[in-house]
Structure 1
Amino acid sequence: MIYPSGRAAVLAAASAVPAIAVAVLVPAYWYAGLAVVLLVLALTLADALGTPGARSLTATLDAPAAVFVGQDVALGIAARVGSGRRFEVAIEHDARLAPTDSARGPVDASGKMTFTAVRRGAAVVDALWLRWPGLFGLVWRQKRVELDRSIAVLPDVRPARTEALRLFRRDASFGELVQIDTGAGGEFQALAEFRQGMDRRAIDWKASARHSGLIAKEYRTERNNDIVFAVDAGRLMCEPVDGIPRIDRAISAALTAAFVALKLGDKVSLFGFDARPRISTGSVSGVASFATFQGLAAELDYSNEETNFTLALTTLGSQLKRRSLVLVFTDFADPTSAELMLKTVGRLAERHLVLFVLMEDVELQAMADTAPEHSADVSRAVIAASMLRERKIVVARLQRLGVHIVEAHHDRIGSELVNAYLGLKRRNLL
């Protein structure tokens, strides 16, 4: 495609001035004024004919095969037509990539554009749009180069490889040595002489009477527990927080905890739901299965439907055949949906250990804390404070049902979840 540039339009407009002047001042020679206009047209035509055509254009795009959600992606562009040409380039892409700088920019023979992967899935780069000027800058030639390249945007596993490993090393001895903690999930190991530092509740008084000395029970930490990651994929969880959807931050935290759980010998499974159950996987065990679990988590798609907690958690409860730790990643905004959720969670908590993972609502908190300047700010702050108060009421009711709560900033949710999981294992609550 060839079309005139802004410079050609300005020259054409400017050439009309002498043409009109000649027509007014010397009407008999009005046609002489057209010479300037024709000169501009001739220069434009010559520029169009002298500009290298699209057949001599070579353009390639250098892009990574896969990136993590929230990670910056540098797309390298290499284009050449003739010699010493400069280009203006636009990349045609889908909504999973957001430009961090201008979508158009002049590049020489090569250049880079940086995008941010904001959503999971296959980010498609459809085409490159390139245009280059003529020798006089009076015309543009434009070409669309089909690419159909795909970049896999995966759940972020970097916390699992850094933060999880750090937390795991800190508690590496846990689960490998005999523990003396008592609890519903403790497995009896042996009787031993009571030593200072042991839990006094572990004393076996009958055995102590027979041996004329204090004898205590030693317990071995149970392994091979079932850990279920129930991830809400409904409308509210797909809203962004700090530029990244809540569900992506939840999946990243789930992968961090799953890596530690697999390291400690537990079995993990994934359950995704919105208005109805979407994904229900079998259990996997062993660190080698982490890649499988990551792939299953990447398949959990976004949804604009409201979450049906009753159907989802009832279905999950019917699928669990033994006592499990159920980690529910969700959020709630209105008391009606929370009320329905509480009834179902209460039944689930009767048989299983339930842990709710919530992210602090930084937007509501900011609205409630901002000093008002106008009457609308006062109304906004009052409504935000009311919603935060209702949220705290729901959290308190969940705790009264025996549900454990992890509520933290979205940047710390993964480490807080791992700490809570290790704490539950230490107390042998499973």
Structure 2
Amino acid sequence: MGIIPLFFFPTSLFFFGWLVLCALLWAFDATMAPSPRQLSIERSIDTPIPVGNPAHSRIVLRTPVPMRLDLRDAWPPSTHPSPYSHSLLAQPEMESRVTTTLHLERRGSIRADYVTVRSWGPLRMAARQTSIAAPLNLNVLPPFRAKRLLPSRLARLHELEGTTATVLRGPGTEFDSLREYVRGDDPRDIDWRASARSSELVVRTWRPERDRHVMIVVDAGRSGAMLLGEPQEADLGDKDLVELGVAPRLDAQIEAALLLGVLADRAGDQVHMLVVDREIHEDLAQQRAGALIREAAKAFSRVQPSLLPLDWQLVINAVDKRLHHPGLVVLLTEIPPAATDVDFSEAIATLSKRHRVIVAGARDPELGRMSTDWTDAPSAFTAAAASATSRDLDAGARDARSVGAYVIDCDAGFLPARLADTYIALKKAGKL
């Protein structure tokens, strides 16, 4: 505003006089601005929230005097808070409410500490600002993108159990009922004693085992920290693909563990989950009414991969302590190249003596992409190295099979589907 009269009175006296006038107005306005420390602030948020869902941080303000405020609900930048700040006129004896929307991209625990408040004077030239502590924690659950694979796998489980009207009961080891023999039945299922009392041959029918023990061990060590690439373009239309994007191997393992946990729980099996590196970070046992999956999602939200290698002896001891009967042990970890990890091979051999063991490893899709590009000399060297790495990993998978494990070695996006299919196949064959 001072520039306009400065054209008519271009003197240094007017210039400095105007600056003094502005300084006095600023001082007056800052003095008259109410102190923001008088505010009473309550902060709340709904927690936990799955990744991909918006979260709403709510702040309730109470003030003894009228205040014109600018307020910023401060959250880490990774939550993408919107709007950045709020402007409002707070009145005494009335609650003022503001809401900040958070767009969550990462699982884990997020902490917000301060709310920054700026109180303006009556001239809106100066303000008083302070940051008020209002600590709040938000737990962000894993996205569980593999949930869309659940209906098809549950339908196959129902077919095995004979709960669909159009499909006969599947094979298993638990006796279910007797029925007349039809062409195509296994002669070994004929019940000769019951047939002797009937005019027709009678066969025994079986149903898949229930109430089996399923132990899911998730490797949270340095192998889980490895960043894996996006799926190959040729796989994008596959219905079994879970698109994880560029993410640590641990994310694929979590998706697979949640899907298998739901399936085993719905199939009537007892599910136990462990998250391990050099120590046990999470230990979840069977809970009533399907609560295991909810608790598993909360537990996985707290898990971050470490840079420590997995302690295989700790895994063996933990499984022996928790499984008192033969069961299914699922190891979600990296499958090392052949003959590079003696502890890995010895652990699988030890566990396979008593339990069915599945080793499920998520492979980097970048290996497949690099091994197909031979367009120039640098790409050819890269493709050769990728092909050699793939051969070493294939040899490692064969070594794991040779010591008694069922091995799933596939790109990260296919790991949940392949693990669920293997579990259903074992259940169908009566090998649990």
TM-score, structure 1 length as denominator? 0.72
Query: CA offsets, 1:242-278, max 9 Å, x none?
Result: 3655435433432332222222221111233212444
Match of 1:394 in 2: 396
Instruction: Map 1:17-416 onto structure 2 (within 5 A).
Output: 34-55=16-37, 57=39, 59-69=41-51, 71-77=53-59, 85=68, 87=70, 89-93=72-76, 98-100=78-80, 105-109=84-88, 110-116=98-104, 118-121=106-109, 123-131=110-118, 138-155=125-142, 163-165=149-151, 167-175=153-161, 179=169, 181=171, 186-187=173-174, 194-199=181-186, 202=189, 218-239=205-226, 242=245, 245-280=248-283, 284=286, 287-290=289-292, 294=296, 297-298=299-300, 301-316=303-318, 318-319=320-321, 320-332=323-335, 338-366=341-369, 383-407=385-409, 410=412, 413-416=415-418
- Aligned-residue offset at 1:64: 0.8
Query: CA offsets, 1:119-144, max 9 Å, x none?
Result: 334x3221212336656665443221
Relative to structure 1, is the Cα distance of residues 357 and 235 closer, same or farther in structure 2, using a 3 angstrom cutoff? same
SS where residue 347 of structure 1 aligns? helix
- Aligned-residue offset at 1:324: 0.9
AA of the residue aligned to 2:70: F
The farther-off stretch of 52-61 and 352-361 is 52-61
- Aligned-residue offset at 1:412: 5.1
Q: Structure 1: any 5+ residue segments left out of the alignment? A: 1-6, 23-29
In 2, Cα distance between equivalents of 1:374 and 1:49? 72
AA of the residue aligned to 2:24: A
- Aligned-residue offset at 1:227: 0.7
Match of 1:4 in 2: none
- The answer on whether the counterparts of 1:309 and 1:341 sit within 8 Å (CA) in structure 2 is no
AA of the residue aligned to 2:30: A
- The answer on whether the counterparts of 1:48 and 1:139 sit within 8 Å (CA) in structure 2 is yes
Query: CA offsets, 1:143-197, max 9 Å, x none?
Result: 212111222334556856x643553244324235784636xxx245677654223
- Aligned-residue offset at 1:306: 2.4
Relative to structure 1, is the Cα distance of residues 379 and 101 closer, same or farther in structure 2, using a 3 angstrom cutoff? farther
- Aligned-residue offset at 1:427: 0.7
In 1, Cα distance between equivalents of 2:66 and 2:367? 56
Match of 2:420 in 1: 418
SS where residue 272 of structure 2 aligns? strand
More contact order relative to length (CA 8 Å, sep ≥ 6)? 2
- The answer on whether the counterparts of 2:36 and 2:118 sit within 8 Å (CA) in structure 1 is no
The farther-off stretch of 162-171 and 355-364 is 162-171
Match of 2:239 in 1: none
- The answer on whether the counterparts of 1:233 and 1:272 sit within 8 Å (CA) in structure 2 is yes
Relative to structure 1, is the Cα distance of residues 86 and 427 closer, same or farther in structure 2, using a 3 angstrom cutoff? same
SS where residue 103 of structure 2 aligns? strand
Match of 1:3 in 2: none
- The answer on whether the counterparts of 2:217 and 2:332 sit within 8 Å (CA) in structure 1 is yes
What number of residue pairs does the alignment pair up? Answer: 398
SS where residue 153 of structure 1 aligns? strand
In 2, Cα distance between equivalents of 1:248 and 1:278? 16
SS where residue 153 of structure 2 aligns? helix
Identity of aligned residues (%): 21
AA of the residue aligned to 1:304: S
AA of the residue aligned to 1:171: L
In 2, Cα distance between equivalents of 1:129 and 1:336? 57
SS where residue 172 of structure 1 aligns? helix
SS where residue 115 of structure 2 aligns? strand
In 1, Cα distance between equivalents of 2:205 and 2:27? 94
TM-score, structure 2 length as denominator? 0.72
- The answer on whether the counterparts of 1:228 and 1:325 sit within 8 Å (CA) in structure 2 is yes
Q: Structure 2: any 5+ residue segments left out of the alignment? A: 89-97, 229-244
Relative to structure 1, is the Cα distance of residues 63 and 323 closer, same or farther in structure 2, using a 3 angstrom cutoff? same
AA of the residue aligned to 1:270: M
Relative to structure 1, is the Cα distance of residues 32 and 335 closer, same or farther in structure 2, using a 3 angstrom cutoff? farther
SS where residue 84 of structure 2 aligns? strand
In 2, Cα distance between equivalents of 1:347 and 1:218? 34
